[in-house]
Amino acid sequence: MKKIAVFTSGGDSPGMNACVRAVVRTAIYKGLDVYGIYRGYEGMIEGDIKKLYSHSVSNIIQRGGTILKSARSMEFKTPEGRKQAYDNLVANGIEGIVAIGGDGTFTGAKIFQEEYGIPTVGCPGTIDNDLYGTDYTIGFDTAVNTALEAIDKIRDTAAAHDRIFFIEVMGRDAGFIAVDCGIGGGAEFVMVPETKTDLNKVVKSMKNLRKNKSSSIVVVAEGDDEGNAEVIMNKVKERIKDENKDFKVTTLGHIQRGGSPTARDRVLGSLCGMAAVEGLLDGKMNCMAGVMNQQIVYTPFADCIGKEKLLSNEHLKLMEILSI
């Protein structure tokens, strides 16, 4: 193997640049030529591929987002689109690929390799922390800390005005961000897709709020079974019907994706980037390089996207205990 390529796809996450940097410099260290594919699978189809050098990734480790850009590609879901992508890779002499992204990225990579046989190793780039085969995903720690900083500020005004805030964080299918923000932010309730929300319990607690606490924080993952934060707030408000209680909603949204990555995400991204290149050279393919128990592990794409990563029972128990 003499030439490899790297791309980022799907939602951006802080630490992707650290991962790209590690891929490029590990490849050069190992004597490989390395190319960047811009705008993910869309750029692969359009031939937006450029050779990268050590200086190409200078001064990027501290930057959020991704210098390689990202895009959704409907065309890559078609056989014709994948054939065009393959032709462009062949034209550039690409013999191996590092794919940085999440579920959708790895699903596309798995199909592409099965059709055309170009070895691919993935790196877990998503803030959701929902990929099986790694303790943490690149960007999760930064997203949690960004959300937590916002929650701390909202608590100040909640306490000043005796308000109940419903704060929505990202997590359409997984509640990892919500759980860590809830525990770290001292939330009274945390609502996540993995568990059934008991609104009766929430309403009962809210009715007794004045007896114990002057304000309250409820963290809601966007994919909760009862709805998003605004929907849940309206359901609770309708049941309480107390003019003395002031309810507010804050949706944190895409601020969770941006910002300078934390040290943990920079180190994790760098480790996974290095491991992906070494995996390609060792003959690994159709798998993701992750970190579990401080050790590099390689997990088949089929398991990464097919097996559910479960929330920690200890974290769920801790949320209930601390909300008293």
Cα–Cα distance, 128 to 141 (Å, whole number):
10
Determine if residue 253 is left, alpha or beta; phi over 0 gives left, psi from -120 to 50 gives alpha, anything else beta. Answer: left
Collapsing DSSP states into helix, strand and coil, what is residue 51? strand
| 271-275 contact pairs (CB < 8 A, 24+) | 271/22, 271/296, 272/19, 272/22, 272/123, 272/124, 272/134, 272/138, 273/18, 273/19, 273/20, 273/21, 273/22, 273/23, 273/26, 273/98, 273/100, 273/123, 274/22, 274/23, 274/26, 275/121
Q: Count of CB atoms within 10 A of residue 251's CB?
A: 16
> Beta strand 33-37 with 49-52: parallel, antiparallel or unpaired?
antiparallel
Please check whether residue 3 is in contact with residue 95, taking contact to mean a CB–CB distance below 8 angstroms: yes
Count Cα neighbours of 71 within 13 Å in the Cβ-side half-sphere: 17
Collapsing DSSP states into helix, strand and coil, what is residue 308? coil
Please check whether residue 138 is in contact with residue 131, taking contact to mean a CB–CB distance below 8 angstroms: no
Residues labelled catalytic: 128
Token pair recorded at residue 281: 């050279």
Q: How far is CA 123 from CA 91, 138, 259, 305, 308, in A?
A: 25, 8, 20, 13, 18
